[in-house]
């Protein structure tokens, strides 16, 4: 029997403004994709919020509505967009350059729509993204001043677009590796550090701060530290705002978080996992810089450690050699190739190998994630969920968690968590998969 009440959720009335940091391959593929879907020329494949269903009640009840019919999500027709980028190309020019979508089929017909999306000047500093040279950049007397300018952009976009609510998503380049330090521990320290132009404050943190100060949920699609610091986590909780990250889980890591749990479920051992990629888009170029790569590497390496729990299974996972490489290879553009060589062992220690060669399209995998995050973060805000949204770990390579909690990486546990959270929000029964009631009559 379903409980009577769920969470009070404000209706998705009016427009939802999606503010994208970065107007590169992922962002333009997302925006152009939404517009194609709205015009009925394509399907939102890969988007759980649009295509997915959710089972309610017992299997015998045969109730599985679409997620978007079960929870009150914003409708695609109500989305409006804005972006910042240090490169001044509008969304049409940027999409053509990114070379992801077929120009005549998916870009030319919506050229007018895309050309209107012109990037706002970015809070950008080459120190944090070495391989980029931007001209469409804000200037100010210090980092706090830049953050104030971002806040002004947010307010102006809201007014100009008539948006009722906003969400912000970082889909900009991966910044150099940073670790949390004194500047990130409290809001006072963070604000002082902005005023003193402390190098510990990366541009992405200015966007996150500006978003939260303007009551806008913030999701981080790259592995940068950004909103994963105590000062901003606290700010989000204090202002009842959802935040989350890091790093969209798309190709190789998605496969890793499917395969590794399977080995562990069957108690198969792992000797080594060698992952390499060739990638030729701008993201690949940025990641060719060792400092940006280090940020990505940390995000990609963490998953096996948490899934396999070597402390609990030393004979199986105590000595895993895990290597991740990303090689910038321009001829491939956005069409990444990710190879994995996996050395496993079974009964009595006999070795076996698995090879995965994933010829994927990076932004085609990422775009539906941006859409789902925009819609679910907006839902979370309307449901007054605050702080880290662990139920959206499903979308991240390196999910943020409350202090002291280890992240859950297994894709199917993440999916269960996501769907159970939707059931909980709507006051429906949790699905435990026990199923004994089908066999033992009361
Ligand atoms: N595509 C995927 O599968 C995938 C998966 C996980 C994470 N990501 C991450 O998503 C991000 C976007 O990927 P992409 O392929 O679109 O890259 P991209 O290089 O095509 O686009 C990134 C854009 O961000 C802009 N930018 C850089 N610094 C900025 C700043 N401070 N403010 C505003 N804009 C800024 C760049 O000028 C560029 O146009 C990258 O960090 C990437 O690592 C992508």
Closest CA to 336 of 365, 316, 301, 376: 365
pLDDT at 387: 97
Residue 419 has pLDDT above 90, yes or no: yes
Ligand 1 contact, 255 CB (< 6 A): no
Strand ordering across the sheet containing 242-244? 79-84, 15-21, 163-170, 218-220, 242-244, 387-388
When pLDDT is averaged across residues 401-421 and rounded to a whole number, the result is 94
Ligand 1 contact, 392 CB (< 6 A): no
Which is higher by pLDDT, 6 or 222?
Answer: 222
Rounded-to-integer distance, Cα 81 and Cα 16, Å: 9
Number of residues assigned to the chain: 442
The residue whose CA has the least distance to atom 21 of ligand 1 is: 24
Residue 360 has pLDDT above 70, yes or no: yes
Q: Given the CA of residue 21, which atom of ligand 1 is nearest to it?
A: 33
DSSP 42: S
Measured from the Cβ of residue 257, the count of other Cβ atoms closer than 10 Å reads 23
CA dihedral of residues 161, 163, 169, 173 (deg, nearest 10): 10
Enter the pTM of the model: 0.95
Structure tokens at 15: 């427009």
Rounded-to-integer distance, Cα 141 and Cα 225, Å: 24
Q: For residue range 246-263, list pLDDT tens digits in order.
A: 999 998 899 999 999 999
Ligand 1 contact, 368 CB (< 6 A): no
In the structure, what pLDDT confidence band is assigned to residue 295 with cuts at 50, 70 and 90? confident
HSE, side-chain direction, 13 A CA sphere, residue 139: 1
Closest CA to 79 of 121, 111, 49: 49
When pLDDT is averaged across residues 225-231 and rounded to a whole number, the result is 96
Q: For residue range 149-173, list pLDDT tens digits in order.
A: 999 999 999 999 999 999 999 999 9
Rounded-to-integer distance, Cα 104 and Cα 354, Å: 39
Q: Where are the alpha helices (DSSP H) in 116-218?
A: 143-161, 187-195, 203-213
When pLDDT is averaged across residues 165-183 and rounded to a whole number, the result is 95
How far, in Å, is the centroid of ligand 1 from the Cα of 323?
23
Residue 66: which residues within 8 A CB-CB, separation 6 or more? Answer: 51, 52, 53, 54
How far, in Å, is the centroid of ligand 1 from the Cα of 171?
5
Mean pLDDT computed over every residue of the chain: 94
Rounded-to-integer distance, Cα 94 and Cα 134, Å: 14
Structure tokens at 335: 């069409």
Closest CA to 280 of 97, 22, 84, 129: 97
The residue whose CA has the least distance to atom 18 of ligand 1 is: 24
Q: Given the CA of residue 84, which atom of ligand 1 is nearest to it?
A: 33
Rounded-to-integer distance, Cα 253 and Cα 275, Å: 9
When pLDDT is averaged across residues 326-353 and rounded to a whole number, the result is 93
pLDDT at 299: 67
In the structure, what pLDDT confidence band is assigned to residue 2 with cuts at 50, 70 and 90? very low
Q: For residue range 59-85, list pLDDT tens digits in order.
A: 999 999 999 999 999 999 999 999 999
Q: For residue range 33-48, list pLDDT tens digits in order.
A: 999 999 999 999 999 9
pLDDT at 206: 98
Residue 333 has pLDDT above 90, yes or no: no
How far, in Å, is the centroid of ligand 1 from the Cα of 191?
26
Q: What percentage of the chain reaches a pLDDT higher than 90?
A: 83
Rounded-to-integer distance, Cα 261 and Cα 266, Å: 9
Ligand 1 contact, 221 CB (< 6 A): yes
Give phi and psi for 136, each to the nearest 5: -90, 75
Mean pLDDT check: name the lowest of 7-21, 80-94, 284-298, 320-334.
284-298
In the structure, what pLDDT confidence band is assigned to residue 290 with cuts at 50, 70 and 90? confident
Rounded-to-integer distance, Cα 305 and Cα 368, Å: 27
Q: Are 387 and 233 in contact (CB under 8 A)?
A: yes
When pLDDT is averaged across residues 139-152 and rounded to a whole number, the result is 97
When pLDDT is averaged across residues 368-388 and rounded to a whole number, the result is 98
How far, in Å, is the centroid of ligand 1 from the Cα of 27?
8
DSSP 318: T
The reply to whether omega before 257 is within 30° of 0 (cis) is: no
Mean pLDDT check: name the lowest of 55-59, 108-112, 244-248, 278-282.
278-282
When pLDDT is averaged across residues 133-157 and rounded to a whole number, the result is 96
Residue 412: which residues within 8 A CB-CB, separation 6 or more? Answer: 258, 261
- Burial of 394 per CB tally in 10 Å (0-12, 13-18, 19+): buried
pLDDT at 93: 98
Probe ligand 1: pick from 23, 26, 169, max atoms within 8 Å of CB? 26
Rounded-to-integer distance, Cα 187 and Cα 431, Å: 40
Ligand 1 contact, 122 CB (< 6 A): yes
How far, in Å, is the centroid of ligand 1 from the Cα of 90?
15
Which is higher by pLDDT, 90 or 299?
Answer: 90
When pLDDT is averaged across residues 129-152 and rounded to a whole number, the result is 94
């Amino acid at each position: 029997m379903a409980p009577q009440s769920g969470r009070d959720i404000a209706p998705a009335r009016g427009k939802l403004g999606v503010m994208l940091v970065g107007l590169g391959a992922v962002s333009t593929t997302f925006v152009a994709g939404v517009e194609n879907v709205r015009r009925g020329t394509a399907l939102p494949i890969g988007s759980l919020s649009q295509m997915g269903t959710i089972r309610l009640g017992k299997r015998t009840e045969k109730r599985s509505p679409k997620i978007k019919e079960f929870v009150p999500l914003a409708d695609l027709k109500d989305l409006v967009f804005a972006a910042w980028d240090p490169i001044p190309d509008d969304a049409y020019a940027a999409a053509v350059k990114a070379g992801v979508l077929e120009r005549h089929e998916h870009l030319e017909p919506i050229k007018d729509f895309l050309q209107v999306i012109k990037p706002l000047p970015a809070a950008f500093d080459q120190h944090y993204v070495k391989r980029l040279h931007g001209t469409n950049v804000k200037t100010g007397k210090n980092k706090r001043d830049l953050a104030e300018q971002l806040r002004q952009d947010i307010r102006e976009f809201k007014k100009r677009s008539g948006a009722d609510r906003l969400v912000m998503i970082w889909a900009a380049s991966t910044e150099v590796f940073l670790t949390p330090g004194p500047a990130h521990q409290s809001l006072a320290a963070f604000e002082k550090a902005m005023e003193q132009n402390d190098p510990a404050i990366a541009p992405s943190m200015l966007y996150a701060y500006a978003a939260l100060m303007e009551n806008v949920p913030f999701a981080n699609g790259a592995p940068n530290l950004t909103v994963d610091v105590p000062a901003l986590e606290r700010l989000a909780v204090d202002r009842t705002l959802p935040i989350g990250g890091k790093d969209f889980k798309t190709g190789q890591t998605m496969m890793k978080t499917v395969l590794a749990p399977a080995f562990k479920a069957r108690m198969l051992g792992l000797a080594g996992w060698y992952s390499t990629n060739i990638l030729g888009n701008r993201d690949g170029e940025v990641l060719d810089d060792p400092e940006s790569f280090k940020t990505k590497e940390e995000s990609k390496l963490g998953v096996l450690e948490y899934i396999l729990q070597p402390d609990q299974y030393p004979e199986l996972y105590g000595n895993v050699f895990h290597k991740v490489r990303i090689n910038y290879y321009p001829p491939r553009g956005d069409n990444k190739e990710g190879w994995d060589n996996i050395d496993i062992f079974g009964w009595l220690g006999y070795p076996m190998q698995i090879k995965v060669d994933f010829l994927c399209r990076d932004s085609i995998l990422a775009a539906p994630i941006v859409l789902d995050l925009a819609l679910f973060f907006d839902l979370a805000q309307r449901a007054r969920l605050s702080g880290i949204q662990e139920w959206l770990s499903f979308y991240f390579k390196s999910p943020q968690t409350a202090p002291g909690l280890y992240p859950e990486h297994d894709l199917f546990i993440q999916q269960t968590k996501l769907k159970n959270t939707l059931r909980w929000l709507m006051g429906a029964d949790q699905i435990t998969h026990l199923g004994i009631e089908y066999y033992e009559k009361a």
